[in-house]
Amino acid sequence: MSTPRHLAGNYAPVREELTAHDLTVTGRLPDALTGWYLRNGPNPADAASAHWFFGDGMVHGVRLEGGRAVSYRNRWVRTSTFTDGARGYDERGHRDLTAGPANTHVVRHAGRTLALVETALPYELSPGLDTVGPYDFGGRLATAMTAHPKACPVTGELHFFGYGTLEAPYLTYHRADASGELVLSRPVEVPGPTMMHDFALTAGHVVFMDLPVVFDLGLVGKGMPYRWDDGYGARLGLLRRDDPHGRVRWFDIDPCYVFHTLNAYDAPDGTVVVHGMRYPELGRRAADGSVDEDRQAVLWKWTADPATGTVREEQCDDRPGEFPRVDDRLTGLDAAFGHVTCGSALVRYDLRTGASASHDFGPGRTPGEAAFAPADADPAGGGPGWLMTYVHDARTDRSDLVVLDADDLAAPPVATVHLPARVPHGFHGNWLADPGA
């Protein structure tokens, strides 16, 4: 019996937690980089899982200080699922929000570092990546938390949502203030339980994506318990940030699926613009129950017009890609540039002109998601900086942390940090600069 694709090659888990110091660097790390580059991803502790999305979370971190690669460490997130085999529901059928792999993202807000998965509570990590425990905002968070919260660069607020599968409300919107206090939770009415992986934020709106990949109880235990539903429809929902308990206004769009938005903003003409990676469909099941998992996403733009109640939909490129990011200081604003991982390359898009530049890592070298590290402390963002990503080399079966000049993407890497171990393919992460650095 062949090994499933999500457990083979560089998807296969690593078996050890390591700590290594004084890493070898080719090139020169910028002196301005002092902090942690962290990235989360599935790494099943028992070397098996039914789907890539289900593996136990492992965070891989590289510590940089003033031009030196000080250390590397990788640590499993010790959730109740990891330590005790807990599942999403207890023996009485009650939801256990501490149970989940915490394998999708790692973010920092109000001084806390949180490992996230969309089906459970966050897990807080120490500065050394040890697991502190589940975090529920002082008992106020009563739903799961998306793995893609959005931090407003103007207010410092953290906007996020949780979705449910067995009973309404199927969607709840949350807001935490800059100090980390959960100050808002409100249900949002949607027709049924969908896999809402991401959403978007602008200066004036929260943008929900209600799309036709729906939960199916009959598929539980058979891989991903979601399927494409031709009858569900697809729409964008706009909620005004200054009226968070107000009406969500919905706009129909062509059926599709979006795992990840790139960014969104309020245009001067009153429209709301969203960029994201669009799949034409996802999770359609054949008569024998099999699923086509080879669908690919490309960059699209949606422009919702509240005055007319319509949405203009435009394809921006035909290169398949994923993991779109911007300078996080421009979240919700009219960012000029965004970047996407496309096969063996990183592509930087000029979101205003449509031009692009790319860096190809070469045959057998596969980058993951790239995070933007600013070269200055200007909170307005949009200035120079670097892109950081783990790159796996199939020839050596080792991984590097590669640092690129975001404004000169085609140039050779600024620096390459050689890691002591392989970093399996994973999901999302961030450059977390030291406070005051």
Mean pLDDT of successive 10-residue stretches along the chain, which has 437 residues: 87 97 98 97 89 95 97 98 82 79 98 97 97 98 98 98 93 98 98 97 98 92 88 98 98 98 98 98 84 88 97 98 98 98 98 97 98 90 94 97 97 98 97 88
Q: Return the residue matching tokens 């494409």.
A: 228
pLDDT number for residue 91: 57
pLDDT number for residue 378: 83
> Identity (one letter) of the amino acid at 431?
W
3-class DSSP state of 395: coil
Say what the pTM is. 0.96
**Partners of 349 in the beta sheet?**
338, 356
pLDDT number for residue 385: 97
pLDDT number for residue 328: 97
pLDDT number for residue 90: 59
3-class DSSP state of 11: helix
- The sheet that has 298-305: what strands, in order across it? 257-266, 272-279, 298-305, 310-315
pLDDT number for residue 326: 98
Cα three-residue angle 299-300-304, rounded to 5 degrees:
150
3-class DSSP state of 236: strand
pLDDT number for residue 46: 85
Q: Return the residue matching tokens 């109000």.
A: 110
For residues 387 and 371, the answer to whether their CB atoms sit within 8 Å is yes
Q: Return the residue matching tokens 């009858």.
A: 231
**Is cis: bond before 169, omega within 30 of 0?**
yes
From the annotation, which residues make up the binding site? 148, 197, 260, 428
Cα three-residue angle 180-107-198, rounded to 5 degrees:
95
pLDDT number for residue 360: 98
For residues 304 and 249, the answer to whether their CB atoms sit within 8 Å is no
From the annotation, which residues make up the binding site for Fe cation? 148, 197, 260, 428
The helix or strand, by DSSP H or E, that contains position 81, with its residue range, turns out to be helix 80-84
Per-residue DSSP letter, 330: G
Say how far apart CA 179 and CA 258 lie, in whole Å. Answer: 31
pLDDT number for residue 92: 58
pLDDT number for residue 176: 98
- Plot region of 298 (φ>0 → left; ψ -120 to 50 → alpha; else → beta): beta
pLDDT number for residue 85: 87
